[in-house]
């Protein structure tokens, strides 16, 4: 029996609806039709934590034009707390809440040992969620970081730089302060929570779940290499694991400051830095002007890049190489980017860009390289962006005339 007209009409309508929906999906998912920053800002977010993440990916024009590659920087300095550390601050606190380790508005306090940026992010999120915050940091970090922490309502404790094996190392002091906090509270509601960003696997998980997917979406999967430094190892581990699972053949490179042994560990399997030779060290931790990245030990997050995982079944290092960047080149790159791109970035972003330039030259034209611009130069005004201080150490603070100075 033939179908009546109403059945034909329903069938045709269903097909037409499906076709229109599919075509609409294709249009909306074209790169040129993605929501603009203005459109995103029109949405109402719930508090300051709603501003974290979804940062823009920008083309670094001077490096891209010079190499024939697309050299892209993820503008993490546009997070509300001013750095990529906002991501882990929010994620780790939320996970602690889910596990019952933290309950807001109970007088509980968040403790962490940090060179500054993670502390600022934690202080911001702590205030937004109803917690106190106590930050322990090395006394050789830029003073403006301490000032920002205090403005965010955190208690700041600056301690002398020393090895991680020393009980007075900033990380160990923070752990001890957390254990002592609330010891006299018989109800157990007022707790001290030690974030432990260096060894907490949730650190890299935060970037696996947010930063990595954002980069993949923003590049539409067209990415050949990722470049980043390592402090805690969370960002480079999380992003590398995610992107290598999504993009066959993707390469990941470590940007390492002078004085750090990680580059040598990646390239040669041995933790060593030339500036660590006896009688040559200027600083206790890592002999560099760059803050926030570089170590002479393996954190749990970074060590995960050296272990067998999905997509790394042979047990080889998931990093495809490492570049050791001198303080001289870090200073030069920061001034180059300010003069040629109007980018005012911090010291870790500078070494990332030196390494991205190196990788772009090695890969050749037509490749896409993504790196992280973790924070702004505003956090480095008294040190890395203090021309008088840099000149006193023998560094040329004038912008290079050409990128040829970066060998």
User: Element (H or E) spanning 348, and its range?
Assistant: helix 347-363
- What b/e string do you get for 153-169 counting C-beta neighbours within 10 Å, with b at 16 or more? ebebbbbebbeeeeeeb
Place of tokens 């050791």: 324
Give the burial class of 279: count Cβ atoms within 10 A of its Cβ; 0-12 exposed, 13-18 middle, 19 or more buried. Answer: exposed
- For the question of residue 34 being annotated catalytic, the response is no
3-class secondary-structure state, position 159: strand
DSSP 3: P
**The pair of three-digit structure tokens given for residue 37, joined into one six-digit string:** 């920053």
- Which of 347, 339, 343 shows the shortest CA–CA distance to 403? 339
Which residues have a Cβ under 8 Å from the Cβ of 320 and sit 6 or more positions away?
A: 225, 251, 252, 253
E-strand stretches of 168-274:
192-194, 225-228, 251-257
CA neighbor of 197 nearest in space, from 164, 233, 162: 233
Contact between 250 and 226 (Cβ < 8 Å) = yes
Candidate list 74, 85, 265, 383, residue with the active-site label: 85
Distances (CA, A) of 92 to 38, 195, 368: 29, 7, 31
Torsion of CA 315, 320, 321, 322, to 10 degrees: -90
> ∠ at Cα 104 (101, 106), nearest 5°?
90
| Cβ 174 vs Cβ 181: under 8 Å | no
Q: How far is the C-alpha of 212 from the C-alpha of 242, rounded, in Å? A: 6
- As annotated, the active-site residues are 85
């Amino acid at each position: 029996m033939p179908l009546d007209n109403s059945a034909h009409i329903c069938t045709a309508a269903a097909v037409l609806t499906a076709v229109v929906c599919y075509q609409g999906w294709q249009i909306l998912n074209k790169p040129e039709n993605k929501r603009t920053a203005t459109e995103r800002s029109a949405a109402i977010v719930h508090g300051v934590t709603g501003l974290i993440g979804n940062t823009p990916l920008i083309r670094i024009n001077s490096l891209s034009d010079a190499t024939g590659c697309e050299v892209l920087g993820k503008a993490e300095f546009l997070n509300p707390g001013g750095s990529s550390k906002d991501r882990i601050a929010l994620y780790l606190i939320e996970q602690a809440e889910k596990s019952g380790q933290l309950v807001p508005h109970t007088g509980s306090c968040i403790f962490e040992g940090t060179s500054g940026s993670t502390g600022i992010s934690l202080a911001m999120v702590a205030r937004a969620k109803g917690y106190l915050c106590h930050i322990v940091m090395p006394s050789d970090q830029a003073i403006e970081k301490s000032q920002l922490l205090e403005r965010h309502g955190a208690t700041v404790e600056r301690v002398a730089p020393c090895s991680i094996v020393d009980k007075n190392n900033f990380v160990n002091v923070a752990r001890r302060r957390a254990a002592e906090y609330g010891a006299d509270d018989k109800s157990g509601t007022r707790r001290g929570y030690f974030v432990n960003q260096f060894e907490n696997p949730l650190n890299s998980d935060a970037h696996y779940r947010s930063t990595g997917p954002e980069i993949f979406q923003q590049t539409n999967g067209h990415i050949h290499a990722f470049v980043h430094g390592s402090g805690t190892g969370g960002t480079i581990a999380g992003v590398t694991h995610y992107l290598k699972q999504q993009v066959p053949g993707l390469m990941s490179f470590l940007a390492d400051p002078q004085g750090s042994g990680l580059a040598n560990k990646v390239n040669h399997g041995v933790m060593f830095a030339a500036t660590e030779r006896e009688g040559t060290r200027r600083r206790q931790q890592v002999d560099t002007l760059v803050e926030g990245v570089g170590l002479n030990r393996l954190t749990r997050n970074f060590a995960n890049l050296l272990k067998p995982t999905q997509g790394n079944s042979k047990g080889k290092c998931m990093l495809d190489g490492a570049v050791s960047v001198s303080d001289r080149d870090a200073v030069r790159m920061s001034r180059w980017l300010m003069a040629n791109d109007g980018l005012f970035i911090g010291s870790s972003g500078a070494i990332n860009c030196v390494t991205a330039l190196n990788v772009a030259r090695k890969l050749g034209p037509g490749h896409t390289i993504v790196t992280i611009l973790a924070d702004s130069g505003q956090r480095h005004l008294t040190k890395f962006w203090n021309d008088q201080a840099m000149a006193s150490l023998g560094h040329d603070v004038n912008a290079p005339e050409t990128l040829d100075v970066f060998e």
